[in-house]
Amino acid sequence: MSGTAFPPDRYRRITDGLGRLAGGAGPSVLIQAEAVVALEALAHGIGLAGRPVLSIESSRYGRLSTDWLRAAGAQVTALELPDGEAADPQRVDDLLRAEPDTAAVVFTQAEVLTGVAHPVDDIVEAAHRHDAAVAVDAVAAVGGLAAPRNADAVVIGPQKALDGPSGLSVATLSERGWALLGRQDETFASVLSLPYLRHSARDQGVPGTPSVPELEAAERALAAVEAEGIEARITRHHAARAAIREGLRAMGLTPWVAAEQHANTLATTVEVPADADARELAGHAVASGGHWVYGGSTKRGAYLQVSHYGRRATLAHVLGELAALARAAGHFADVGDAAEAASEAWHTAVL
Amino acid sequence: MSGTAFPPDRYRRITDGLGRLAGGAGPSVLIQAEAVVALEALAHGIGLAGRPVLSIESSRYGRLSTDWLRAAGAQVTALELPDGEAADPQRVDDLLRAEPDTAAVVFTQAEVLTGVAHPVDDIVEAAHRHDAAVAVDAVAAVGGLAAPRNADAVVIGPQKALDGPSGLSVATLSERGWALLGRQDETFASVLSLPYLRHSARDQGVPGTPSVPELEAAERALAAVEAEGIEARITRHHAARAAIREGLRAMGLTPWVAAEQHANTLATTVEVPADADARELAGHAVASGGHWVYGGSTKRGAYLQVSHYGRRATLAHVLGELAALARAAGHFADVGDAAEAASEAWHTAVL
Amino acid sequence: MSGTAFPPDRYRRITDGLGRLAGGAGPSVLIQAEAVVALEALAHGIGLAGRPVLSIESSRYGRLSTDWLRAAGAQVTALELPDGEAADPQRVDDLLRAEPDTAAVVFTQAEVLTGVAHPVDDIVEAAHRHDAAVAVDAVAAVGGLAAPRNADAVVIGPQKALDGPSGLSVATLSERGWALLGRQDETFASVLSLPYLRHSARDQGVPGTPSVPELEAAERALAAVEAEGIEARITRHHAARAAIREGLRAMGLTPWVAAEQHANTLATTVEVPADADARELAGHAVASGGHWVYGGSTKRGAYLQVSHYGRRATLAHVLGELAALARAAGHFADVGDAAEAASEAWHTAVL
Amino acid sequence: MSGTAFPPDRYRRITDGLGRLAGGAGPSVLIQAEAVVALEALAHGIGLAGRPVLSIESSRYGRLSTDWLRAAGAQVTALELPDGEAADPQRVDDLLRAEPDTAAVVFTQAEVLTGVAHPVDDIVEAAHRHDAAVAVDAVAAVGGLAAPRNADAVVIGPQKALDGPSGLSVATLSERGWALLGRQDETFASVLSLPYLRHSARDQGVPGTPSVPELEAAERALAAVEAEGIEARITRHHAARAAIREGLRAMGLTPWVAAEQHANTLATTVEVPADADARELAGHAVASGGHWVYGGSTKRGAYLQVSHYGRRATLAHVLGELAALARAAGHFADVGDAAEAASEAWHTAVL
């Protein structure tokens, strides 16, 4: 119906390239809209089966998934986690034992807002032990953390650690993942139907009207990842995580996520000392050239957050954020120690 | 959650500018996805009320609306029209008299595939006489035909007569239009909820992550329409319609849509003579430099289709398509008459 | 000195790709400025030798070359041609016989303003018979006319029949062409020194700071030419020339350039009838949707000009211009004949 | 001659906007080529007068100006300065006293390669005392250092501290500056004639064919400077200079340019300790994530160089470069002191 053309083979290469970065469980589909649309489609499709689902909620996106699953008819057990707390695979195991008919476990691999990263591979193993499929939102992880192994459905968007556009996303599903969506008729057109989208891409090459600028931006992002190497890209994000956490500790502050392996590599959160006002502290840090924002608060107190993904996953960026926070916190004397610790951690990580 | 920023006032201006071109019944919302997503959201929202709806089907999009309405719970009366036949307001009146509880009439203002344009204002009047609201898909009409008057919901996309991007769309709804969607909770996030989108734009300025290249392309399209004047843009499309129809007649061919006022100004369809093979004829026309495609066939026979919208709504484009078709049809001697008739019709129309 | 990078191999491919389209006499250089700068550099370099040069002036660019040659020290014989008159190889032969020491013949292959195309291969032969080198400005010919054979220096820009950017140009020179510039020290940096530019490209890969958007636009233009095929591109321009000339004749008008083989394929000029005002006629044609402009006037009278190059080298564009002119000229009855003649000529040419 | 259009008023606004940033001595002209072309044109025009000129050479560009001036006919006194040494206004005064007929002093305001910034206002005063005009290459200063006061000709390009495109440049000249070019006939077309360019812009609005992507990039750069404020932009560059110099000192290294007021704010150079190999040290710094390059060497030894202009004029960038150099230098223990000193200097400067 349109005059805009985009070569189907390029469309396919973009889909497959992003799908591979997502773990490449099986055939991938490209959604020409923000990743939140792909996430809604996935939750909606899973929910239609009307079976029990375990939804691990570690942020707003987790809560949205619960809503979408329920609205579509699933019986959802929601595992609500405090901000920044990683899911415990044992707890997942227990909940699945309690509800053996659970069709799927749905969760977000890592959060930029709270800085947490869940032990995705352990959760997948636990779920599979109980014959439940696993659907993962990896938007805030892909490119900075290893892709989930053996997950049944993974949704990514290229706008964070991949330095790509925000207007498209990709879902990659294993055979079992596609089976989760078995209630959706692949010939019924709907933005909330991944089976329709797959059918339609197979049929038409490029489903719908291609958004050329978005597709070209995705191509450039993929080319840049290929040039750097996905391993090197992930290592760079790990180095950023190590550097900023060591730097924070050296200046007397405490990372909000205690265990490094549970901390996201794309963003870091830090405890606000009890005697400080969190929003004021963030404001001072921004006035000092940083990008810290008030993250949230729980019973443990309040925390600030800062991102360090994509082209900002550099030692320079980390040092700048540490210096800004040090100045804001009045721990001025500590910026030197922070820089030294951060620099050492960075270089150890990238070796 | 993103690093991409877009000024809320620019976002609002794009939304309102496109909303005005759609007829501006009331508050508009911008959907960062193809228009088909906005159409699904509208039909889904209307359907949720579970009330009778009259769906006028003049092409695939009409049939999709019927599907979406039914899937959401509406009791749909489908008025199926043969390709290229305009809806008869009297027929609409009759159907609404037969089902006085009808909540809404849903249809596509004009089609590019079959070349038909429905008498939208008369249908609105008929519907309103029976206290039914009206929801219009104006994607293939906006910029080339006058915007619907007094419709309750209008969806447009800028990718055709507005020469804009295809990755965003706008819905403009009257108070009554918004009331049609009253079953949707504006705080429940969903790509299929226009009320949520309106709420979210009000709340956050720019809902979700802005797709900057798409928004900038929409801005450029709006600026170009403003520079030309929307009246002049519509006149130019009317001239293209007049020119190509007169040209076809002069070379002995019959426009598929008999009455000019029921013919779309963005695309024209023509009867394939009984002794010719439609797909072969289209192939020859393309080989002769044209862009005619096989359109479809009904009991009346087969037809070809060609577009002439946006920057191709010119006399030159029309003459080129006539010459290609003349050559393909072997009516070679007639290209001169076609050009003369088309040229006269064009200039009469733009006076 | 800059932070902008551009891969030397891509830079080289663009240079060589454009150089091949220019006839590829020998090593090419890319100039990051409008083609007029390359032309000035070439004339300046030739002029520095202080030897006799024959400059064929068929438009402003020819006169500029004469000026640049003289300013640099050449003894220039200027062969001034009336607008639209092709150079006569016999005349060139005579002039070279009269000045046997002539180092070079300098001229413009084809003009868009007057619509003339000189018999470039015959002129090259005449010049070589007298041991003079040949330097050609092919900006308004490349992509629409065959590249000069055996010329010693050819300058092109991609902004016309190649549908490319205007901010860069390429010069391709044979060994003899480079020898013409022998007075320039290749280590002396100057925008007017092609030898320096060649030296610098060899040395640094990308001389100076690359203008990335211009280079990328040139790449896209080259890819489009490759996709269409340079032969097909040239044929398309020949068809446009044939079509518009036959159309003009059919409506009773006279092409300004009498012989088709001397008419440029990128633009056409037409005599203004003695009883008409040329500027008024052009104005009416523009008001009728055309793009005719007042071209100039000589003892023979006045002429109008219209372009039909690159993506406008189509039958549709030609028909549109004929219809606009017919209407402006009041020869309205003739538009049919014009269209018929143009269409036939087009299709004969593209067979 | 072209189909590309660019509104003359936008062209004028870009010209004037950049001209104002250059000090705005008088009417400005925009050159659609790299700044080196504008510099050659200026030197060529000055040189044509055949009068004595004092050329202060602090880098390759200064030596090029000497060459261009001499080639055009000027009697040049060249004041060669060792890398990184600022010109002494007293020395300039002496040289002008010795050659009272000197028409102009020509020099580069600041260098990114050697990190020096000359006392431009003092040099202007000295020159004017002796009735000599002053022509300044401010490409590597504009946006990071105050514009020259009362200079007679200033050339800038937007590609460094203005974060703009590299394919265009602007020259702004006072009445006296234009008089320096009095030997050039403004009606003689040449890329080396600023008077012709001014004449042609006055005459045609946009001289030649506009390079739209370059012009649009310049507009965006100007808008960004306006949004930040030129004073704030310059302050940010001063802060970067202060921060990196204090950081280097804190880690036991010596800035190559001794006096801060003679150091460029866009780039910094540092002495390589006598026992280290300069190229090896730069290589290690790059391997550690920095961007240090071997700068050059003089009798005083060798130096490294790093840039910190435009969007890299941040504390984060400076800290990253210090950390990389510290690691490369093996002075690892000192990165903390460097960061502390740099951070304090930065914040003191931006207060």
Nearest residue to D154 (alpha-carbon basis) of D14, D12, D28, D53: D28
Please tell me the predicted confidence (pLDDT) of residue B10: 95
Cβ within 8 Å, pair C4-D191: no
DSSP string, A37-68: HHHHHHHHHHHTT--EEEEEESSHHHHHHHHH
- Return the partners of chain C (3 or more C-beta pairs < 8 Å): B, D
**A272 CB-near residues (< 8 Å, 6+ apart):** A278, A281, A301, A302, A303, A304
Please tell me the predicted confidence (pLDDT) of residue C203: 84
DSSP string, A246-262: HHHHHTT--BSS-SGGG
Output the six-digit token pair for A174: 């294993």
Cβ within 8 Å, pair B64-A165: no
Q: What's the gap in Å between the CA of C95 and the closest CA on chain B?
A: 46
Per-residue pLDDT of chain C (351 residues; tens, 9 = 90+): 334 589 999 999 999 999 999 998 789 999 999 999 999 999 999 999 999 999 999 988 999 999 999 999 999 999 999 999 999 999 999 999 999 999 999 999 999 999 999 999 999 999 999 999 999 999 999 999 999 999 999 999 999 999 999 999 999 999 999 999 999 999 999 999 999 999 999 988 888 889 999 999 999 999 999 999 999 999 999 999 999 999 999 999 999 999 999 999 999 999 999 999 999 999 999 999 999 999 999 999 999 999 999 999 999 999 999 999 999 998 776 899 999 999 999 999 997
**C291 CB-near residues (< 8 Å, 6+ apart):** C285, C306, C307, C321, C324
Nearest residue to C322 (alpha-carbon basis) of C249, C248, C271, C237: C248
* Beta strands at C75-80 and C52-57: parallel, antiparallel or unpaired: parallel
Sheet holding C169-173, edge to edge: C28-31, C169-173, C153-156, C133-137, C104-108, C52-57, C75-80
Sheet holding B267-271, edge to edge: B267-271, B301-307, B293-298
Residues A101-129: tens digit of each pLDDT: 999 999 999 999 999 999 999 999 999 99
Average confidence (pLDDT) over A234-238: 98
Please tell me the predicted confidence (pLDDT) of residue B3: 45
Average confidence score pLDDT of chain A: 95
The interface pTM score, or ipTM, of the predicted complex is 0.94
Sheet holding B169-173, edge to edge: B28-31, B169-173, B153-156, B133-137, B104-108, B52-57, B75-80
Q: Residue B269: which H helix or E strand, with range?
A: strand B267-271
CA dihedral of residues D312, D314, D318, D323 (deg, nearest 10): -100
Burial of D94 (0-12, 13-18, 19+ CB in 10 A): exposed
Q: Which among B315, B340, B344 has the least Cβ separation from residue C320? A: B315
Output the six-digit token pair for D148: 């020259």
> Residue D54: phi, psi to the nearest 5?
-100, 120
Cβ within 8 Å, pair A189-B67: yes
In chain A, residues with a C-beta closer than 8 Å to the C-beta of B217 are 213
Rounded CA gap, B336 and B326, in Å? 10
Cβ within 8 Å, pair C319-B321: no
Whether A3 shows a pLDDT value over 60: the answer reads no
Q: Which of A24-38, A81-95, D106-120 has the lowest mean pLDDT?
A: A24-38
Q: Which among B316, B339, B347 has the least Cβ separation from residue C336? A: B339
Q: What's this model's pTM, rounded to 2 decimal places?
A: 0.94
Output the six-digit token pair for D195: 């008077």
Domains of chain C: 3-228 (3.40.640.10), 230-350 (3.90.1150.10)
Please tell me the predicted confidence (pLDDT) of residue D3: 45
Contact between chain C and chain A (3 or more Cβ pairs less than 8 Å apart)? no
**C70 CB-near residues (< 8 Å, 6+ apart):** C47, C76
In chain C, residues with a C-beta closer than 8 Å to the C-beta of B324 are 315
Q: Which among C32, C166, C214 has the least Cβ separation from residue D2? A: C166
Output the six-digit token pair for C311: 């993506």
Please tell me the predicted confidence (pLDDT) of residue B2: 37
Please tell me the predicted confidence (pLDDT) of residue B205: 83
Residues B292-328: tens digit of each pLDDT: 999 999 999 999 999 999 999 999 999 999 999 999 9
Rounded CA gap, A70 and C33, in Å? 62
Q: What's the gap in Å between the CA of A179 and the closest CA on chain D?
A: 46
> Residue A279: phi, psi to the nearest 5?
-65, -35
Per-residue pLDDT of chain B (351 residues; tens, 9 = 90+): 334 589 999 999 999 999 999 998 789 999 999 999 999 999 999 999 999 999 999 988 999 999 999 999 999 999 999 999 999 999 999 999 999 999 999 999 999 999 999 999 999 999 999 999 999 999 999 999 999 999 999 999 999 999 999 999 999 999 999 999 999 999 999 999 999 999 999 988 888 889 999 999 999 999 999 999 999 999 999 999 999 999 999 999 999 999 999 999 999 999 999 999 999 999 999 999 999 999 999 999 999 999 999 999 999 999 999 999 999 998 776 899 999 999 999 999 997
Nearest chain A residue (CA) to B112: A1
Cβ within 8 Å, pair C40-D165: no
Decide: B108 and B61 in contact? Cβ < 8 Å: yes
Q: What's the gap in Å between the CA of C61 and the closest CA on chain D?
A: 10
In chain C, residues with a C-beta closer than 8 Å to the C-beta of B342 are 323
Cβ within 8 Å, pair D159-C4: yes
- Return the partners of chain D (3 or more C-beta pairs < 8 Å): A, C
- For tokens 């506009």, the residue is D210
Please tell me the predicted confidence (pLDDT) of residue D334: 85
Cβ within 8 Å, pair A188-B67: yes
Residues D163-208: tens digit of each pLDDT: 999 999 999 999 999 999 999 999 999 999 999 999 999 988 888 8
